[in-house]
Each structure stands twice: as structure tokens, then as C-alpha cells.
A and B are shown apart, each in its own frame.
Chain A
């Protein structure tokens, strides 16, 4: 049950809509499929026809990927994506949640299962018959990009890692992608932070609940994010900052858990929200104060940069671009495509995979045209999608900084 008054506050934002269509120009989904009539329709328009306890025959809002570009582009302050998330929740309440959605929205469960048997799991995920079976049984599209289990966990490395004895304390929120699939990205984040004088702490942590939230499983999502906030809060009461490289997950902590799940009264979450920084945001702040080390070695390469939707949802611009521009020799091509299409778990779903691919087509074409060898992008699921759609390697911008520092 969504807290009623909170929902009414969101709902009140529909009053700001002047129907101008700017959100429609931003929506990556409605531009490629008629199954989703668009953010204006699903958000402020449909909301006027929704009422507590009234019969409801909605389905199309389930095709919203929850990217949030509509809210960001709206000049009038309508909480479009948030309204859509609530409507999606109501659809799920009514129609039920498929097993598939319960499964793929729990990365920690998948990660714990897959890591010990990584070679087998990875081999299975590559097997066509296995994927066909997974599509039939679970509704996970056979061609959808699935990450490879690293076979080791980032936390195992972190526990063994010897931090410097001095430096500004900072808490690292690494997210599930780093933990199970890309531990080396986390190692690079730690190295870059240490290079800039931070002493990195890695407290115990679990999933932020974002995949659950975006699939309309609000109750479960709340449990996860509250637990995470409880785990992180004690480490930052002294003003210590939290930094993360999983940009979607840091956004969940910063804003979405409060503004979509209605957890604005949770004191731990409020604290964590305020103190959390995206890694590039943090480093750009350092640079602004003249505190970022710029002992970069030249990197002769061409990189295309795609700011994923959830990164843009931080409402902080694209700090990665300013940072990459500091690396001598590196040619950075800024892309202006809206979305890669994957939207977390959206593009994995059988009925949505092709929509995701179509939504990403503009980006894939831009990468192609850019002449870039690699693609920098702040979100891991987007990187997997970009690799899938462009057959080019995709890295977090910090990985390029790490390379340029020669660490």
C-alpha cells in the first residue's frame, strides 16, 4: 500500500502539466513502440482517471521502462516517471507479478547462486538451448544481454585489501554489479579514490532494491533499501560521504527510494541520501577545488560517452565528460542519444527485449558513427546492453581515469 498522502502529493504535481509534449520528445520507449502511448498519457493524463478503489483496466503503463527522462525534461515540474511507477505498481497489484520478475529483480540472490559455479553458469547462459528454455519457462528473452559471473566477489578482495593508513575517510557503496560481475571495476574505483587521498571503507551491504522497484515490487524494494540505509548510515553520521559507481543504484539511494517508494520519513535513508555521491560527481567537485590529481598519462584512444538515463537523473549534468577531457590524448565523443534501451531489467523481458533494442538503436548507430573504439558509460546494465548492441567494449569512465593514472 502506497502511503496515501504521499501519493496525493505526487498526484498533485499533475496539476503542473500544460500538455506541452516535451516529455514525449524525451521518452525512449513511446518513440519506438505504440504499446506505450507515452509519458504524458500514462502520467498526468491517465492519473486524472485513476481513483482509489475504482475498477481499473490499465496495462500499457507496464511498458514504461522507468528511465525517468520525462521527469527530467519536464520544465513544469510534473513527477511523470514517479506517477508512472505508482501506476505500474497498481497494475502489478492487480495482475500479479510473474515469477520471472521476482527472480531477475534480486541480483544478490542470483549473484550468490551463480558465483560459486561461475564457469558452469556462464557456459549455460551462453548455450542457446538453455536460453530458449529460460525464455519459455521464465520469459527472459533468449538474446537479452546477460552479464558473466566473475566467479569471485568484490567484497572478498576488499576484505583483503590493505587501505592506506591516512586520508579522508569515504564509504564505498559498490552495488551488486561490482560485487558479482565486475569486481575489477570496484578495485579501480578504490584505487582512483586512494590515489586522490581517500581512505576507502567498504561496509557490509546488499542490494538497493532498484530492480524490484522498477518492476513494481514496492514492498520488497522498501525492505531492501531500508536495510541498505541501515547498514550504511552508522558509517556516515560523522559527515563521511558515500560514493558509488553504480549510478542507478546511487540514484536509488539519493532520490528514487524517497520519491517513488515514499520513504522520505526514514531517517537513515535521509542521511544516506544526502551524503551519497556519484563517483564522477565527487571527482569533479575535487577538481573544482583544485584537489583532483591530474598526473594523467596520455591515453591515445577515441572514446564515445553515453550518459545513461539514471545518471542524468542525478540532475548534475555529465561530470564524466569534464573528467575525461582532462586525460591527454583521449578523444571524447559525446553522444546525445537518449537511452540504450535496457533500463535495468526491462530489456531482459521476453515481451520487451525488441522494444529495448529499438530504443537503443539510435545510440548504437551513434556509437558506430562516432568512430570510437570503446564506449564509456556510468551504469553497468547499460554497458552490457551497449556491448550487446555495438560489439564494442564498454567501461565506466573511472576505469579510463584509472588507466590514465597508470595505477
Chain B
């Protein structure tokens, strides 16, 4: 591949990176985005899906609360198709300090987080599975976000403005010429080819990996303290509203209904390695206990899988940082390395949270434009993303409704998540991928209760029947997916999901015997 050159090179394809790419492209910059894996496969794709109302930070971090409150409204407007308007509740359970509720009310008032106290009986009518012993309940505009939809909507929007979006391109070097960064060398991880990208400005939107990336540019002292947290995905929506415990933010105090599942989060364990995905038994046990406090019967409900995400909690080495990651600011940090290190053409945006991705992108591209000396106004707070033109929210029932309308038109391949053969084939063609995990993020293939027990064989069969895909590639796609799914399954394998795993083992190892491909 020949050398690319562009105005703005964005490294990192999470919500922030795709947000920066879209913002830059919308302002008329030529943009290239590179991501080492699939879009939103790092921290963005490994959280619980909450679009914050700001309530969670109303007492502890008023600035963050204020930012969230504003951006919540903006994201609902520009990316409605990625947002489920679930609403949120903060409830005082018998395990919470009752005094916090009044602090919470005051905090919400002071930070502009819309908050309405409702009768606990009403909260229980709306959410029958909630702990019946709650004493107070507050309604806030929390919502959930399908982050893969969001990242791809941002990417497609940017592509519509000429941006080049390159997933599976890992940055192997950052080109620095004395005091100026002028691009990077990337490797196409599927072909192994390396090439250079020449850029007027390079933005590292690599979140928890920002320190590693800065080191490639020989910039010292960018410290992102990865705070690792686990989340457990439950088989169905135990609640239809985001439910938070009304207390100082702690472990396992929130359940987020998103698409067909509900996710409980999270823990916070300091780690050195942002690629550390280990799950500790104690964490799982504690999380299940926490779930039980919010929703009695939680421990008998079906856990599908567990995953970990690493928060990019920024700590500048120059300042004395606090010890535990939950106490480090959740606010984002934009580093102009010209100001900080005397290196032009290079910015790091890290920290923050998904809810404020757009604001982070706006501030970043503002700074980029300033350095380029080309003032260009930001329009991302008013420009709707592709798919969100009608302002209609995403609904959990959408796929069922669609299926009911198209019952006689196409085969269901993934029955749990109601994905048709046509959707699988289109996705393979459009994405040019045969990685079933990419299809998972794109379509939710295999994300339901059977975790691919039926659809993975079907998808593999469909892949093999498509032009240009040979038997070995199809076999590998199947095996990769089966192994990948197992990773998040086995640490929470009990009850119903163990039955499922046993059934899946019979299908893959007994019936199909995939271990013994010739």
C-alpha cells in the first residue's frame, strides 16, 4: 500500500476516536482513523452501556455531573437511533445510607441533572422486580447506548464526509521529526502489510492505551491508570429502567437494561495493564450479591457472561495523584503536546466517559484547528448521525416488530437476537470481514442465551457458501468464535448457563465434532 496523507490522523476507534473523526470530517478536514482491532472493541465496547444523566456524579463530582447532564441531551438528539430512552431510577435500598438521598437531590439541583422524586410504590409498579424494601426513589434521564451502533454511525457519518476508517490497523510507530509529529506507521493486522500515514495533526484517542501511544512518540509522563471493572450480562431485562443505588458510587450498584439483556456493573481494581481481562472469583461473587440487593432473585437469574473493561483514568505524572483509581477524576483530559512537551502536531485525548465522547471530540478538534490556524466551527451537537434522522429512539422491541413484519421473507439465523440470513450476508459483504466476532458487534450475532450454539454453525455455513471464502477460512471462523465466546462464559458458568454450555458442547463437540477438522 502506498503512503497516505491527510490533515488529521486519529489513532483509536472507540467512541472518542470515531467522535473525533466525525467532528473533524464535519468541519471539512481530511481524516484517517486507524484502530488496532474492530471499532469499539476496547473500553467503549466493554462497558455496561449507560448514557449518564449525571445523577451518578451529582454529589461526588459536580463538574462531571453537569457535563453529563448536557451531553445526555445532545447524544439523545444526534444519535437517537443508538439510544434507548429507558430512563433511570436512583433508589435507596436498606443497604444504603438514607442521608445520601437528600445530598443527591441537592446535588442534582446544583448541577442541572433533572431529577424527580417518585413514590417508591410507583417505582415498584414500573419495576416489579426491584427490591420491595426501597424507601425513596428518584427519576433521572439515564438511558442506555448501543455503543457499536454509535461507533459505526459516527464512522459512517465521517466516511460520508470523505474520512477513511481503517479498523484492524495497529499503530507500530509514531513519526516524530524533532518537535513535530507528522503521522504514523501502521500495520494491517489481517494482511500484515505496513504503511505510513503522513498527517498534519495526529490525535491519540487511545484511552487507557494513551500512555503506550505517547511513548511511541517519545513523550514521557502520560500516565493513564487503568481501572479494571467487571460487568456481568444477564440473560434478559430484569429491569427496564436503569436502576442505581442512591449512595456514593461504589461496586455493583447499577443495573443497565440494554437491548435484550441487563448488565450489572461494576468493580474497580487497579491494574498495570490495559489488556488485563482477568476476572477474579471474589469479584463475581460480590457482584452477584450486589445484584441481589437491588433485584431479589438476581442470583437465581441467568448470567450469560462476564467481561472487563478498563477505564482510562488520567493522571498527569507532574501532579501528585491519588492512590485509588475510583478517586482519580473521571473528567477527560486533553493534552496539547505543544503546550505540554513542546511537540507540535500531536494531541492526546483520554479519560472521560462515553456520555461525553462528543464534547471530548469537540474540544479536541477545536484545539487541532487552533494549532492549524484554521478556525472551523463545530456542528456535531446539532447534526444528526446516519440512522437518527427521524429522532426515533432505539427500542428493545424493534427487532421483534421487524421480524413480525418480515416473517415470510427471510430465515432467522441467530434466533436469540433475531438476525436474518440476509443481514448476515450483507454484513459480511459490507464489512469485508469473515470474523464472526465482528458480526457479533455489528449485529449482536451470538449474543443471546445460546451464545452461538445454533447460529455459529449456520453463519459458518453461510460464509462458506459465499463467494471467495474457502473451507479453511470458514472452519477457522467457527473455531475462533467458539473459543472467544468461552472466554467470557466460563467464569460465570452456573445454573441455566451451565446447562446451555453443556448443550453447546454437545452441538460443537458431539454432533459436529469441530475439534477434529481434517
Contact = CB atoms under 8 A, between A and B. Distances in A.
Judge A-B direct contact (beta carbons within 8 Å). Answer: yes
Interface of A: 4-5, 7-8, 11-12, 14-20, 34-35, 37, 40-41, 44-60, 76
A34 B416 contact: no
B507 to A, nearest CB: 10
B375 interface: no
Interface stretch (B24-32, B396-404, B473-481): B396-404
Interface stretch (B11-19, B47-55, B103-111, B496-504): B496-504
B73 interface: no
Contact of B236 (A40, A48, A59, A60): A48
Given A37-B407, A46-B400, A55-B395, A14 B236 contact: yes
18 contacts: A4-B128, A14-B235, A14-B236, A15-B496, A18-B449, A18-B500, A19-B415, A41-B412, A41-B415, A49-B260, A50-B400, A51-B240, A51-B397, A55-B395, A55-B397, A57-B401, A58-B401, A76-B496
Nearest to A21: B454
Contacts of A49: 260, 396-400, 418
Interface in B285-338: 297, 300-302
A257 B418 CA distance: 32
B407 A60 contact: yes
A220 to B, nearest CB: 24
Chain A interface mostly helix, strand, loop or mixed? loop
Interface of B: 125-126, 128-129, 235-237, 240, 257, 260-261, 297, 300-302, 395-402, 404-405, 407-408, 412, 415-416, 418, 448-450, 453-454, 496, 499-500, 503
A17 B402 CA distance: 23
Contacts of A53: 240
Contacts of A19: 415-416, 449-450, 453-454, 500, 503
Given A18-B450, A56-B397, A45 B404 contact: no
7 closest Cβ contacts across the A-B interface? Answer: A57-B401, A15-B302, A49-B400, A4-B128, A48-B260, A19-B450, A5-B128
B407 A54 contact: no
Contacts of A58: 400-401, 404
A17 B497 CA distance: 9
Nearest to A37: B407
Nearest to A52: B240
Contact of A57 (B126, B405, B500): B405
A12 B416 CA distance: 16
Nearest to A38: B415
Given A34-B407, A59-B404, 4 more contacts: A18-B453, A18-B496, A48-B235, A58-B401
A1 to B, nearest CB: 10
Contacts of B237: 48, 51
Nearest to A15: B302
A35 B216 CA distance: 60
Given A4-B128, A55-B401, A57-B401, A48 B416 contact: yes
A370 B402 CA distance: 45
B287 to A, nearest CB: 17
Contact of B126 (A37, A44, A52): A52
Contacts of B454: 19
B149 to A, nearest CB: 16
B409 to A, nearest CB: 11
A45 B418 contact: yes
A59 B416 CA distance: 19
A56 B467 CA distance: 38
B129 A40 contact: no
A17 B449 contact: yes
A15 B401 CA distance: 22
A365 to B, nearest CB: 27
A49 B402 CA distance: 11
B448 A48 contact: yes
A29 to B, nearest CB: 14
The winner among A7, A14, A18, A54 for most chain B CB atoms within 10 A is A18
Nearest to A3: B128
A217 B446 CA distance: 37
Contacts of A55: 395, 397, 401
B449 to A, nearest CB: 6
Contacts of B448: 48
A246 B450 CA distance: 40
Given A55-B397, A57-B401, A18 B416 contact: no
B296 to A, nearest CB: 11
A58 B301 CA distance: 26
A155 B416 CA distance: 51
B496 A16 contact: yes
A34 B397 contact: no
Given A57-B405, A59-B404, A18 B499 contact: yes
